Structure 1
């Protein structure tokens, strides 16, 4: 029979109180349970640890030796728990955040000094990527993603707002009326991103006609007058482009994701809470309402 290490607190409690009832009260179990677990511990150790005398339980010589070692182990376990909890609560270390690039360049980076000032011991790693990095492989601690993610029990998922998209134009196309949009040159992403809602919207508008230019940086090409572009409102406004659609023509959900096992880690929770508050404050900007 193997000794149950969970019985160490029971042996120490019995030594302190001298009774099954007292030990049980401390451990929130009944006296019968204490007696049964004491008997199991003695069978596992092949030694009598306590004798009852004068209405009280007294440790034997073997019990004294076991209690001395148990006290050391209990102290070490308390220190271990304190160290783990302190590590969980530390607001230092590295937090890895991934998102689409425009959320970094046009939203997060202008606000980054406030985050760094609030948590001077934190290091950040910002990974701009259109692909979904793996939380399971710890490629990211937090993510801001466009579109509702697939359900995953390993993730904590919160809808953080919406990103509005509008039609923007550069030089030479700034007075283009909406009825002429289907005939205009357009900018779009490459075929691998055809599934994106903004590309689906453009495909419907053009009746299947491909964009004039396919590239990754639509805003830069739009600014040079290469064609119209459907852009996040905060990107087009920041680039000084002419917004042709007064209201956003498309909205995409923005989700804040974190790994379920890391959500209570101090540094991850601090950045997650800061992001959530900042996104709430920026809701109108992200939707394209201001």
Structure 2
């Protein structure tokens, strides 16, 4: 098939100002042969139909219809147009129907990005119930706290511990708070609060000194004894469990496997945000996952916050 050059395209009858919304109108008039019947079918008055037919013929530089005293008749170019127009319109209807079915279908992949501890200590344990209810949804978990592009489908959802910068393409939903408490193990399992400032601590890397957890530690001890710095909460949990020092950890960690919670209540709170593309709510599987995460937070609120 030879592709015409631009100069040749300019001579083609399909002009740029043809309104594709006129295709159903032309098909209806060809089918009924009557202006009044077409008007009743499409809910339009005769003068509007006549004006749009004339505009379409002018844009195409073709005479599509002739008219006698009783009805409208297709010309030969009009017959060719209607032949192809019916195929195009049928394909568009099939496309819209298939798209609507796909939008309502609760099936397919859903990519969720979050910091590792939210998966390890919260979401993963609840996945069996979700997958049993929605076996055709393929949940994909990516442990990451970097910014993601929803437009490029780097993620469908992201759980973040701070409100991101406003983005018109991103739907931001604040789920609630997550609490942090002091934990210890081994020789640090029974340290009283008044001696916390003297103990060795497991802390985040220095680049994260702006985090609320690090600011809390600076208030507790302006020059704390840092026994270990890490860039992963999961590593911090393991180091605390091994007896390296005290650590400020999410309350969801709970006291288990040798970890002892020393705080009576949460020492620090951070906001938990669910992010998605603004259009995700129109797709069945995304609606289901968003509702599941929100309901799961409400169900787990006490354990997450205190």
TM-score (norm: length of structure 1): 0.90
- Structure 1 distance, partners of 2:43, 2:253, is 59
Aligned to 1:270: 288
- What's 1:232 paired with? 250
Instruction: Note if 1:43 corresponds to 2:43.
Output: no
Query: Unaligned stretches of 5+ in structure 2?
Result: 1-14
SS in structure 2 of the partner of residue 153 of structure 1: coil
Q: Which runs of 5+ in 1 are unaligned?
A: none
Q: How does 1:3-82 map to 2 (within 5 A)?
A: 3-54=18-69, 56-82=71-97
Structure-1 separation of matches of 2:143 and 2:78: 61
1:102 shift after superposition: 0.5
1:196 is aligned to 211
Which residue of the other structure, out of 195, 198, 207, is the alignment partner of 2:222?
207
Question: Does 2:239 align with 1:221?
Answer: yes
Q: 1:15–1:59: 8 Å Cα contact kept in structure 2?
A: yes
Question: 1:228 & 1:194 partners in 2: Cα distance?
Answer: 17
Contact persistence 1:106–1:238 (CA under 8 A): no
Output one character per residue of 1:126-145: Cα deviation in whole Å (capped at 9) or x when no partner: 11123233323321111111
Structure 2 equivalent of residue 135 of structure 1: 150
Q: Alignment RMSD, CA only?
A: 2.2
Q: 1:90 aligns with which of 105, 109, 112?
A: 105
- Kindly indicate whether the alpha-carbon contact (under 8 Å) linking 2:158 and 2:275 is maintained by their aligned counterparts in 1: yes
Query: How far did 1:108 drift?
Result: 0.8
Q: 1:186 maps to which residue?
A: 201
TM-score norm. by structure 2 comes to: 0.85
Aligned residue runs from structure 1 range 97-112, under 5 A:
97-112=112-127
Contact 2:183/2:248 (<8 A) preserved = yes
Q: 1:198 to 1:82 in 2, by over 3 A?
A: same
- Assess, with a 3 A threshold, how the Cα gap between structure 1 residues 201 and 141 changes in structure 2: closer, same or farther: same
2:112–2:155 Cα contact (<8 Å) kept? yes
- The equivalent residue for 2:269 is 251
Distance 1:71 1:255 in 2: 48
Match status 1:282 vs 2:300: yes
Distance (whole Å) between structure 1 residues aligned to residue 190 and residue 145 of structure 2: 32
Deviations, residues 61-114 of structure 1 (Å, cap 9, x unaligned): 443332232222211111122222233333332211110100001101110111
Q: CA deviation at 1:210?
A: 5.1
Corresponding residue SS for 1:164: strand
Residue 150 of structure 1, CA deviation = 1.3
Whether the aligned pair in 2 keeps the contact of 1:168 and 1:236 (CA below 8 Å) is no
Task: Indicate if the aligned counterparts of 2:199 and 2:225 stay in contact, CA closer than 8 A.
Answer: no
Q: How many residues align?
A: 288
Q: Deviations over 1:140-196 (max 9, x none)?
A: 111111111111111111111211111112122233222222122211111122221
Aligned pairs for 1:90-169 within 5 A: 90-169=105-184
| 1:29 Cα offset (Å) | 4.3
Report the Cα distance in structure 1 between the residues aligned to 2:140 and 2:268, rounded to whole angstroms: 30
**Separation (CA, whole Å) in 1 of partners of 2:212 and 2:40:** 62
State the secondary structure of the residue aligned to 1:6: helix
Structure 1 range deviating more: 64-73 or 47-56: 47-56
How far apart, CA to CA, are the structure 1 residues paired with 2:35 and 2:296?
A: 55
